[in-house]
Amino acid sequence: MLAYRSFISRIIKEKNVQHEAEVLHQKKLALENIKVQEEERKRIAVTIHDDIGNRLNILSLWLNNLDTQGDEIIKKNIYSQMSALIDAARSISHSLYPVNLESVGLVLYVEELIANLSHKINISLQVMPGYKKKDLFVEVQLYRIIQEFTTNVIKHSDATDLWIYIKDYPHHMAVVISDNGQGFDYDQVKKGMGIKNIESRIKSMNATYKWKSTFLNKGSRIIIKIPKHNEFPNQDSPDR
């Protein structure tokens, strides 16, 4: 009987280890997938931002220095089109990859996003004292999550207000994003690309999350907990 119990216990333990290894493998696949996507997005965004954007700005300067006696109506139309093209190039670049995030940091970049969306929704950002700049990969993922959540709220929730809360703890970082829209039942709603993208980016940081949106017309909320050292453990480690 003791030998049988020991055998069953060993089988259960081995299955648990296999399950944990599979979960870890899936998380690593998500991380690699996100990294590949971000590298390609960054390459395209930098090309648009640095090449096309700069060329448009130079062309705009040239047009500005043309003979003032030229056809003012034509020049005005050209300036209008140039301005629209520059704005479009900047918008496409930012949507593909936050090109300037590395230099300005997550907080300032989110504040820029808030300013750009101020005509659509009221967004409040609260960063608790003691926040320290994170690894670029983590800050890019957090910006993407905030961007995705905000886009979903504007499109689907009829919310007027959105709140972002960021705080550093000794061993982890907490991010809470919530709104006052119509909300949704997470267990019942069809998981669209927005939710899937958010959850995939969270997993790529080896982070945990919880949706608080079980009551309709009570808004939605996501709570994200990111470990300070978010590297994935080595599957070949002796501890395993």
Confidence at residue 129, expressed as pLDDT on a 0 to 100 scale = 93
Does some domain include residue 207? yes
**Is the pLDDT reported for residue 147 higher than 60?**
yes
What average pLDDT does the segment 177-189 reach? 81
Binned at pLDDT 50, 70 and 90, residue 186 comes out as: confident
Confidence at residue 80, expressed as pLDDT on a 0 to 100 scale = 73
Buried b / exposed e over 76-100, threshold 16 CB at 10 Å, is eebeeebeebbeebbeebbebbbbe
Does some domain include residue 236? no
The share of the chain scoring above pLDDT 70, in percent, equals 73
| 211/133 same-domain check | yes
| 179/81 same-domain check | no
| 86/9 same-domain check | yes
Does some domain include residue 233? no
Confidence at residue 237, expressed as pLDDT on a 0 to 100 scale = 38
Q: Decide which of 96, 117, 146 is a domain's last residue.
A: 96
> What residues make up the domain containing 75?
2-96
What average pLDDT does the segment 173-198 reach? 83
Confidence at residue 194, expressed as pLDDT on a 0 to 100 scale = 80
Please give the model's pTM, rounded to 2 decimal places: 0.65
Q: Which tops the pLDDT comparison, 20 or 142?
A: 142
Binned at pLDDT 50, 70 and 90, residue 21 comes out as: confident
| 89/109 same-domain check | no
User: Among candidates 215, 135, 140, which has minimal Cα distance to 178?
Assistant: 215
| 57/9 same-domain check | yes
Q: What is the separation of C-alpha 158 from the centre of its chain, rounded to a whole number of angstroms?
A: 21
What number of other Cβ atoms are within 10 A of residue 72's Cβ?
9
For residues 69 and 198, what is the distance between their CA atoms, to the nearest angstrom?
54
pLDDT (tens digit per residue) in 59-73: 777 766 665 555 676
| 37/79 same-domain check | yes
Count of structural domains, the chain: 2
| 85/110 same-domain check | no
Does some domain include residue 237? no
Confidence at residue 111, expressed as pLDDT on a 0 to 100 scale = 93
Q: Decide which of 96, 131, 153 is a domain's last residue.
A: 96
For residues 34 and 40, what is the distance between their CA atoms, to the nearest angstrom?
10
Q: Decide which of 96, 118, 146 is a domain's last residue.
A: 96
| 65/7 same-domain check | yes
| 78/115 same-domain check | no
**Is the pLDDT reported for residue 18 higher than 50?**
yes
Does some domain include residue 240? no
| 109/222 same-domain check | yes
pLDDT (tens digit per residue) in 97-119: 777 888 889 999 999 889 989 99
Average pLDDT value over all residues in the chain: 79
Does some domain include residue 235? no
* Contact yes or no for 163/180 (Cβ under 8 A): no
The owner of tokens 């990859």 is 97
DSSP string across the chain: -HHHHHHHHHHHHHHHHHHHHHHHHHHHHHHHHHHHHHHHHHHHHHIIIIIIHHHHHHHHHHHHTS-TTS-HHHHHHHHHHHHHHHHHHHHHHHHH--TTHHHH-HHHHHHHHHHHTTTT-EEEEEE-TT-----HHHHHHHHHHHHHHHHHHHHHT--SEEEEEEEE-SSEEEEEEEE-S----TTTS---HHHHHHHHHHHHTT-EEEE---STTS--EEEEEEESS-PPPPTT-TT-
Handedness of CA 97, 157, 190, 220 (dihedral sign): positive
Weakest-pLDDT range from 11-15, 46-50, 181-185, 214-218: 214-218
What average pLDDT does the segment 47-51 reach? 68
pLDDT (tens digit per residue) in 210-240: 988 655 667 889 999 999 876 544 444 333 3
List Cα–Cα distances, 104 to 100, 134, 154, in angstroms: 6, 12, 26
| 41/150 same-domain check | no
CATH number, residue 153: 3.30.565.10
The share of the chain scoring above pLDDT 90, in percent, equals 27
| 156/92 same-domain check | no
